Structure 1
């Protein structure tokens, strides 16, 4: 608990360093407190929306201290606090991938092969393209 309160007391201190113990125990207590809030709410029959509201309220209450202890932890590993913004990349990467998967492909042939929309038969990519092959006599 001492490390949790130490991080809370330094809630606006974005300079200096924080040990791993301070960082991880602060986050552990955050998770435990959130778990207790949601468990007690569920146990006492509180509506799910209300439990979610109280959990979210707690998360917003510790947002600045969480950012501060994370920045100080980055400083402890000799990195700028701006490195915490890398958390944005996975979400951005997911949306970029979804965009690439959802947009229409390049019309016509490209470096990786022919346009699959030009194929009229399902599975024709695995079949021979030689027109004479299909006209051969099978006797």
Structure 2
């Protein structure tokens, strides 16, 4: 099968390939057919075996000097430059953005009621970062209004009200994100209920947020993009 390297860690000898069928496959150093640089975007051929890529070799390395007629025919058929690297699967064109802001924005829009699937650590902390920034802005606006109304030394009612509305508006995506984070490390989302344990509940949730993603597909979905 033809595919493309998504990630390869030279030190760990472990990586991921997205296949032409749209699925993601893991591979290790022992699966490589020859010593070659497996940088992101490298076109490869491999044999799939239960979610794992076997007998992996770089197409560029194997076809460094292809026959001229083969190059012309392939280029004519594909309408592309000879031996140009190709992208496959759901990352082929506009793959999902994995910036910190994009995670927060998707959390407040398309993932607002999403309690299924998986969320990597970057998604969790990206959402938390911009949620905190937004909360600071809301508090600042509330304090300015309370100050202009002369409430700053008494009960800052506007600040309290704005913060309450903000928290209520963001509580569902926050719970959903924690559930998906637990799924990502192979645990049931119901474990988020430990947050209600006095004193140590929040600490336990923090530990869950720091655990690395499972580097394989699990019962809640495939490995998140960018891992």
RMSD: 1.9
Q: Report the equivalent of 2:210.
A: none
Counterpart Cα distance in 1 of 2:187 and 2:126 = 21
Q: Report the equivalent of 1:4.
A: 104
| Higher alpha-carbon Rg | 1
Residues 81-107 of structure 1: CA distance to partner in whole angstroms, max 9, x if unpaired?
A: 1111001111699xxxxxxxxxxxxxx
Counterpart Cα distance in 2 of 1:74 and 1:92 = 17
Q: Counterparts of 1:1-139 in structure 2 under 5 Å?
A: 1-8=101-108, 9-44=110-145, 45=147, 47=151, 48-90=156-198
Residues 51-78 of structure 1: CA distance to partner in whole angstroms, max 9, x if unpaired?
A: 1110110110011111111100110011
User: Where is the helix percentage greater, Structure 1 or Structure 2?
Assistant: 1
Confirm or deny: 8 A CA contact 2:143 2:158 kept in the other structure: no
User: Where is the strand percentage greater, Structure 1 or Structure 2?
Assistant: 2
Counterpart Cα distance in 1 of 2:199 and 2:161 = 24
Normalised TM-score (structure 1)? 0.61
Counterpart Cα distance in 2 of 1:42 and 1:90 = 30
Q: For structure 1, list consecutive stretches of 5 or more residues without a partner in the other structure.
A: 94-139
Normalised TM-score (structure 2)? 0.38
Higher relative contact order (CA 8 A, sep 6+): 1
